[in-house]
Structure 1
């Protein structure tokens, strides 16, 4: 997913830009109109996943796009989830993540926002160590199953990708 060491400052810049955009848009939050559905959705939920899949924009790079692993997600309320997990990244290396998925915008069943947290396992960023990351995230959750869809934008030496993660609600 990353070509050179120069990507770390770009990722930090993207993180700061994402935070500024999310903060600026925070005043224009869109909520579901149905108060009863909103009250039911405010109960904490635990979700699990077995990693996910990616589709890279640079098709000639031969990235690993089957990013299997294990993750857990605690949805505290309709807007906030805490996520953590491990997976085989796009370089075929093990990665771990811990993030907050803040999704203040709701359009019907779709939640929109960003996942902001810590990630590791990419040798060209912080020598494979831990770094901050942020990416736009959309979520659709049913009674038992859900999907997270993320976007890594192509910035500088970072090859972008779409991320897809299927999940199942435990309770």
Structure 2
């Protein structure tokens, strides 16, 4: 029997990751400049632009998300949104961005999500996508690329975010 996790389960798992990382020995941690105060960012979903324009996808993917940046390289993300198929999706991920090009942080978001009928019948699956972020004092953006695969039409993804602390 497959049990679909609720958003509260996904958020709880996401919040447990930093605690586990904090419990790791200091010598096991990779060198990473910690931000002076963890940054909390909110978003209201985002927009997508699909590579295959012949399908009529929902490209206004509104919802709610939170991002907790604990260092220059790591942010923990969770949220809900209306996906490109008009279904509700939930996600929890780690945004690992070890490279930068000027103000642009580059890396990948790796985590779990659900709500796509062609993948695990809408259930939870692992996902990874290249992610770039630009963050100012109060406003930022995340830009991701969803790769085209067997059951997935690829797209560009854009999120606008607001820092609340």
- When normalised by structure 2's length, the TM-score is 0.78
**2:88 aligned to 69, 85, 94, which one?**
94
Q: Which has the higher contact order (CA 8 A, sep 6+)?
A: 1
1:78 aligns with 2:72: yes
SS in 2 for 1:44: strand
Is residue 45 of structure 1 aligned with residue 33 of structure 2? no
The reply on whether 1:148 has 2:152 as its aligned counterpart is no
**Aligned match of 1:12:** none
**Correspondence for 1:124:** 118
Indicate the structure with greater helix content.
1
**Structure with the larger strand share:** 2
Question: 1:43–1:107: structure 2 CA closer, same or farther, 3 Å change rule?
Answer: farther
- Of 56, 59, 65, 2:53 maps to 59
Q: Number of aligned pairs?
A: 134
Aligned equivalent of 2:109, options 112, 115, 122:
115
Moved beyond 3 Å, runs of 4+:
none
**How far 1:43 sits from its partner (Å)?**
2.8
Aligned residues: CA RMSD = 1.4
Query: Does 2:130 align with 1:136?
Result: yes
Q: For structure 2, list consecutive stretches of 5 or more residues without a partner in the other structure.
A: 1-31
Using the alignment, how far apart are the partners of 1:97 and 1:91 within structure 2?
Answer: 16
